Chains A and B, each alone.
Chain A
Amino acid sequence: MLFFTRWKAAAILLTAFFVCLCAVPNFFPESTVKHWPAWAQRHVVLGLDLQGGSHLLLQVDSSAVRKERLQSLSDDVLRVLRQARIQFTGRAIVGNGVQVHITRDTDMDNALAKLRELSTPLSGILGASGQRSIDVTVNAGVITLTPTDAALTERIRQAVDQSIQIIERRVNELGLVEPTIQREGLDRILVQVPGLQDPSRLKTVIGTTAKLDFRMVDQSMPAEQAAQSRPPADSEVLDGEGGVKYLIEKRVLVSGADLTDAQPGFDQRTSEPIVSFRFNSSGARKFAEATQTNVGKPFAIVLDNKVISAPVIREPILGGSGQISGSFTVQSANDLAILLRAGALPAPLTIIEERTVGPGLGQDSITAGEHAAYAGAALVIVFMFATYGLFGLFANVAVAVNIAMIFGVLSLLSATLTLPGIAGIVLTVGIAVDSNVLIYERIREEVRGGRSAINAIDAGFSRALATILDSNITTFIAAAVLFYIGTGPVRGFAVTLGIGILTSLFTAFTLTRLIMAYWVRMWRPRTVPI
């Protein structure tokens, strides 16, 4: 137990030294570390509860994705049947599918064939999964097309990917530092922005769908009347600024998807903040057509089903550019321009969890953590020295190396350190000492039992090590489970606890033994100073 070959001793010391070295970048300010080579720059990442920042969990509204899919399927059915010149009636979205009644029975086969073409095979992880995107069924002359669950899942997945890209664009424009935007599960997105004090603006920028449409105002009846009774079939009532209601046609003339640019600015005449925009060629053409045929009539600019502006078309706009004016502030005009440039989100996002920590609290937490760590370490060191004397000193060295190694491993993994994580480190100090205590108590016992000094030490180690392994593994299992079920700060605790156990096992099995072996060899003690 106490015999180490030169190679083994060197290997152990080198490993410990190397891991401790990895912790070094943490103690230098960011500015100095930047100049070091890339491999030396890995350091611990401070969690949001220590740095301050915002953690937002967003969920894609899957019912909206489903509705949109059904709507486009319904449009596709219309297109296909018209092209094939098949007569039909009663095309409608019913429940989870689109239904259509084929007028003539002779057309049924043809209709089915054409409609079946709308269904595309879905690819699984390993290529074609054998599933298709739409189920087509027939019942008494009525064809029902239902998007499969697999297809919807795929759609949601795509919506999340798209949303992540759009959010990235939007967040970048806000100039925020190092945001983390990633998918979580099937339909969720995690956004973490360190150092953000007031997330309100961020939430608005991320949470707004930003679907921009240009539609005509329906002047056939006053909007109020339409709101009380029923609006005409192709129009709907939408709210505008200040609660004013508008009756707007459902048909979209040009959509925001055709915008190539949007910039905040000021109206030349009124000096009020406005957003000026420009269409691509197809959008410009549609816009020109619409304005030419509707001179003198009001048209509405609808953003997320709210009318922000309803100006009258004074003259046809052929150049494909224009401006939106409404009750904007400089910042809201800027934000809208950002949203339009980045593109509309494919589906609405809801914030289902928010955790924001201000920098004041973050700094306080760091200070508290540091104090606790130093106090704890100091107390333990004094206690160990008082209880075990010289051996206590060995244990203290091992514990010190242990803590350095924890930081080293955390740095190597670029892991996140949270306040519970610091608590975990302090706790690990207590647990790590246990391994040494087990060994020392065993040695004491062996000495009492009459063994010679060296034999007692040797026996102490061999007997205690199996116990050390067993007892630490149970705590490790608890840490592993906690890592799996935890989020954020709790996960940080599980990480430091787990790593702490591993490093304390390492130091107990190797470092403490090494120190002991060396001491025995140098001083050749007759008695054990315990």
Chain B
Amino acid sequence: MRFRRISFPISALLSIAAIALFFFHGLNFGIDFVGGTLMEVQTKAGPADLAKMRSTIGGLKLGDFQLQEFGAPNDVLIRISEQPGGDEAQQAAVQKVRDALGDEVDYRRVEVVGPSVSTELLAYGTIGLVLAIGAILIYLWFRFEWQFALGAMIANVHDLVLTVGFMSLTHIDFDLTSIAALLTILGYSLNDTVVIYDRIREMLRRYKRMSMPDLLNVSINATLSRSIVTHLTVAISLLALLLFGGQAIHSFTATMMFGVVLVGTYTSVFIASPILIYLGVGANRMEGAAEEPEPPKPQAAATPPQRTRTRR
């Protein structure tokens, strides 16, 4: 628990860094959210000549586009930005590229998202995240006290913020599967936090005289071995996915790995529990009451206003 003096500032710093990355470096939004065309092609005769392809497609004057190798040397990923002119224009662009590349390539995958659908998906994605956070908050409120619910939320939103920062840094594709990864990270690291909270609640009932920091320490130590084993098992399943799952879900798996394994463990132990002290849990404990209530460190954008300590 002493660590909270170190961990809170570190977390705050990392969160701010992540948010800065989000605003300045931006996310590599996939076509799901900004529209456009994605084509995965495989050249039939030997490795792909990217330069030649680039000039062929450049000559079609379709605006911004990206070409990159995707796995094997004859696999190329072509991404064309959204064409002006509504949904029909996207289809016209696809046809042009098909005509230009002709028979030299096999079309492994073609995805075209027009402006109407992309705005919807973006809206749904954001609403989904907010909805999930809200629903889980309500559920936790029922099962635990409000301080637990809030603490868990702050810790886990902080998880999401750091994961988004990671995605911004690595320039990973951000599309619908990324939202799926974020939601899963949210659900799963809450999983973790709930286990610890459950233990804390049990300890609070059992040892009425233990100071909060000690009690939290005991709870965390008690659940530590379980946490390690579980995180290892999830890590190895994700590792299997990362190694064998192929390129198609690579971005999804990498994001999950970061969020669930690295960040999730850290926050459950070092953020979610100490926050309870700040939120006033166990404030009427003997030694614990001697603690000065420091103002909660700014946690991303979810800073709760200074609350008066409530009696449990």
Partner-B contacts on A (CB < 8 A): 49, 57, 59, 197-200, 203, 207, 350-358, 360-361, 364-365, 368-369, 371-373, 375-376, 379-380, 383-384, 387, 419-420, 422-423, 426-427, 429-431, 433-434, 437-438, 441, 444-445, 463, 466-467, 470-482, 484-487, 489-490, 493-494, 497
19 contacts between A and B (CB under 8 A): A207-B91, A355-B112, A361-B109, A372-B241, A372-B244, A379-B240, A420-B252, A422-B245, A423-B249, A427-B184, A431-B191, A471-B194, A479-B187, A481-B132, A481-B135, A482-B179, A482-B184, A484-B128, A490-B177
Decide if A430 touches B238 in the complex (CB within 8 Å): yes
Residues of chain B contacted by A490 (CB below 8 angstroms): 176-177, 179-180
Report whether B253 and A423 are in contact in the complex, using a CB–CB cutoff of 8 Å. yes
The answer to whether B244 and A357 touch across the interface, beta carbons within 8 angstroms, is no
Q: Compute how far the CA of A114 lies from the CA of B116 in the bound complex, rounded to whole angstroms.
A: 42
Within residues 80 to 118 of chain B, which ones have a CB less than 8 A from any CB in chain A?
A: 86-88, 90-91, 94-95, 98, 106-114, 116-117
Q: Quick one: closest B residue to A480, CB to CB? A: B135
B236 neighbours in A (Cβ, 8 Å) = 376, 379-380, 383, 430
| A481 and B233 contact, Cβ closer than 8 Å, known pairs A200-B95, A466-B198 | no
Which residue from A49, A426, A478 sits with its C-beta under 8 Å from B136? A478
Q: Please tell me if the beta carbons of B117 and A380 are within 8 angstroms of each other in the complex.
A: no
* Shortest 10 CB-CB contacts between residues of A and residues of B: A478-B187, A368-B246, A376-B240, A475-B187, A430-B234, A485-B128, A375-B240, A371-B244, A430-B237, A474-B190
- Bound-state CA distance A59–B192 (Å) is 44
* Interface hits, B211-264 → A, CB 8 Å: 222-223, 225-226, 229-230, 232-241, 243-246, 248-249, 252-253, 256
Question: Chain B residues near A486 (CB, 8 Å)?
Answer: 128, 176, 179-180
CB of B3 within 8 Å of the partner chain:
no
Q: Within the complex, what minimum Cβ distance (angstroms) separates A346 from chain B?
A: 19
Complex-state Cα separation, A486 to B117, whole angstroms: 12
CB-based contact A352/B183 at 8 Å: no
For residue B17, CB closer than 8 A to chain A, the reply is no
Smallest beta-carbon distance A387→chain B, Å: 6
Q: How far is the CA of A164 from the CA of B276 in the complex (A)?
A: 57
The answer on a CB contact under 8 Å between B124 and A485 is yes
In the assembled complex, how far is the CB of residue B139 from the closest CB belonging to chain A, in whole angstroms? 6
CA distance A463 to B186 in the complex (A): 25
Query: In whole angstroms, how far apart are the Cα atoms of A384 and B232 in the complex?
Result: 10
Q: Smallest CB–CB gap between A30 and chain B, Å?
A: 24
> In whole Å, how far is A234's beta carbon from the nearest beta carbon of chain B?
30
Q: A477's contact among B88, B136, B177, B253, by CB below 8 Å, is which? A: B136
Contacts A426-B240, A485-B124; A474 near B131 (Cβ below 8 A): no
Do B111 and A387 have beta carbons less than 8 Å apart?
A: no
- Nearest-CB distance from A476 to chain B (Å)? 7
Q: How far is the CA of A360 from the CA of B244 in the complex (A)?
A: 17
Determine how close the nearest CB of chain B comes to the CB of A377; give it in whole angstroms.
Answer: 8
Instruction: Give every chain B residue within 8 A of A353 (Cβ-Cβ).
Output: 112-114, 117
A356 contact from B109, B199, B230, B240, Cβ within 8 A: B109
Q: How far is the CB of B43 from chain A (nearest CB, A)?
A: 13
Residues of B within 8 A of A (CB): 40, 42, 86-88, 90-91, 94-95, 98, 106-114, 116-117, 121, 124-125, 127-128, 131-132, 135-136, 139-140, 143, 176-177, 179-180, 183-184, 186-188, 190-192, 194-195, 198-199, 202, 222-223, 225-226, 229-230, 232-241, 243-246, 248-249, 252-253, 256
CA distance A342 to B195 in the complex (A): 61
Q: Look across to chain B and name the residue whose beta carbon is closest to the beta carbon of A435.
A: B230
Given the contacts A423-B245, A481-B131, A493 and B87 also touching, CB distance less than 8 Å: no
Partner of A489, one of B177, B187, B233: B177
Q: A372-B244, A419-B248, A476-B187 are in contact. Are A361 and B230 (CB under 8 A)?
A: no
Instruction: Point out the residues of chain A lying under 8 angstroms from B98, CB to CB.
Output: 200
Summarize A's interface: helix, strand, loop or mixed. helix
CB atoms of A375 and B229 under 8 A apart? no
Complex CA gap A357/B108 in Å reads 6
Chain A residues closer than 8 Å to B108, beta-carbon distance: 357-358, 360-361
Task: Indicate if the CB atoms of A364 and B246 lie closer than 8 Å.
Answer: yes
Residue in A357, A364, A431, A493 whose beta carbon sits within 8 Å of that of B188 in the complex: A431
Contact (Cβ within 8 A) A497 B184? yes
A358–B226 contact, CB under 8 A? no
**Chain B residues whose CB sits within 8 angstroms of the CB of A368 once the complex forms:** 244-246, 248
Q: What residues on B are CB-neighbors of A470 within 8 Å?
A: 143, 194-195, 198
CB neighbours of A369 from chain B (8 A) = 245-246
Closest to A473 in B: B139
In whole angstroms, what is the CA distance A430 to B201 when docked?
A: 26
**CB-contact partner of A433 in B191, B194, B233, under 8 A:** B233
Please name all residues of chain B whose beta carbon is closer than 8 Å to the beta carbon of A361 when the two chains form the complex. Answer: 40, 108-109, 248
Q: Report whether A478 and B184 are in contact in the complex, using a CB–CB cutoff of 8 Å.
A: yes
Given A445-B222, A478-B183, is A427 in contact with B234 using a C-beta cutoff of 8 Å? yes
Contact across chains for A477 and B191 when beta carbons are under 8 A apart: no
Residue in A375, A419, A482, A493 whose CB lies within 8 Å of B244: A375
A425 closest partner in B (C-beta): B237
In the complex the two chains form, is B245's CB within 8 Å of A372's CB? Answer: yes
Chain A's closest residue to B116 (CB) is A352
Q: How far is the CB of A195 from chain B (nearest CB, A)?
A: 14
Task: Report yes or no: A59 in contact with B246, Cβ–Cβ below 8 A.
Answer: no
A370, chain B: closest CB distance, angstroms:
9
CB distance B135 to A485 under 8 Å? no
User: Could you tell me the distance between the alpha carbons of A274 and B239 in the complex, rounded to whole angstroms?
Assistant: 60
Do A427 and B256 form a contact, CB below 8 Å, given A376-B241, A441-B226, A445-B222? Answer: yes
**Central interface residue in A197, A357, A472, by most chain B CB within 10 Å:** A357
Nearest Cβ on chain B to A459's Cβ, whole angstroms = 12
Distance in angstroms between the alpha carbons of A90 and B139 in the assembled complex:
64
Chain B contacts for A466, CB-based, 8 A = 198
Residues of B within 8 A of A441 (CB): 223, 225-226, 229
Q: Are B109 and A427 in contact (CB under 8 A)?
A: no
Q: Cβ of B188 and Cβ of A355 under 8 Å apart? A: no
